[in-house]
Amino acid sequence: MRLLIVDDDTELCSLLKEFLEREGYSVQCVNEGREGLEQAQQGGYDLIILDVMLPGMDGFEILKRLRAGSRVPVLMLTARGEDVDRIVGLELGADDYLPKPFNPRELSARVKAILRRTEAKSNRGRVDVNGVTLDPGTRAVVCDGKPVEVTTLEFDILEQLMRNAGHVVSRDGLMESLYNRKATPFDRSIDMHVSHLRRKLEGSRSAIKTIRGVGYQFCQSQEDADAT
């Protein structure tokens, strides 16, 4: 697995490179924003670890440009306590975030959780529900015959919801399954990704229903969505 770290803290990059290579990854580090974007756009990376504060071009702009043509998983590094940074990162399509300072083992656990999710499992069958088709083999989503661009994490959330269509999937269950950690009252990452999915899928339907205080339900039909 090839990882790209974009962070201007050279000491941190050296530490993470040494730690992650001992874990079996191939790691490249870039310390400037524009160069980081160029490297990321060249492709070939399985995951990108991206800091928010960078010289030349900040992490948000890198992510925005990257998402215009790539679904490579991105783990953002944010300043501790900067909730706005986390929200903006998720809005732009980051898969997860980790506040600084952090333990390298925590970073490794996050990386493993993301990579485990994004491995294509073509043996899982295609799912067709309420006008939406999801194909795990190609990781493609089609709504009313039109392709829908989703991030890696959005795809995984949608798959869990669609395979359980008509049933409530708890927010805590999604958090543990996808992030490999328990939900906290202040972690709104799942909610943000579900919100993105709604905007992408619901031009002509209400596909995902919020069950307040519990989780989410993918509606099997428009009649189910309209029911109160």
**Domains present along the chain, CATH in parentheses:** 2-118 (3.40.50.2300), 127-226 (1.10.10.10)
In our burial notation (b when 16+ CB lie closer than 10 A, e otherwise), range 154-191 reads bbbbbbbbbbbbeebbebebbbeebbeeebeeebbbbe
pLDDT band at 122 (very low <50, low <70, confident <90, very high): very low
Backbone phi, psi, residue 185, to 5°: -60, -25
pTM for the structure as a whole: 0.69
- What confidence tier does 58 reach under pLDDT thresholds 50, 70, 90? very high
- Round to whole Å and give the CA distance between 140 and 209: 22
User: What is the reported pLDDT for 217?
Assistant: 93
Task: Assess contact for 98 and 48: CB atoms under 8 A.
Answer: no
pLDDT above 90 as % of the chain: 44
Q: Is the pLDDT of residue 228 over 60?
A: no
**Closest CA relative to residue 19, chosen from 82, 92, 91, 106:** 106
So what's the pLDDT on residue 203? 64
189-201 and 171-179 helices, crossing angle to 10°: 100
Q: What is the pLDDT of residues 81-116, one digit of tens each?
A: 667 777 888 888 898 889 998 999 999 999 998 888
Convert the pLDDT of each residue in 7-31 to its tens digit: 999 999 999 999 999 999 999 999 9
Instruction: Please give the residue that has the higher pLDDT: either 6 or 189.
Output: 6
Q: For residue 177, give both structure tokens.
A: 């399954």
| Residue 134 host element (H or E) | strand 132-135
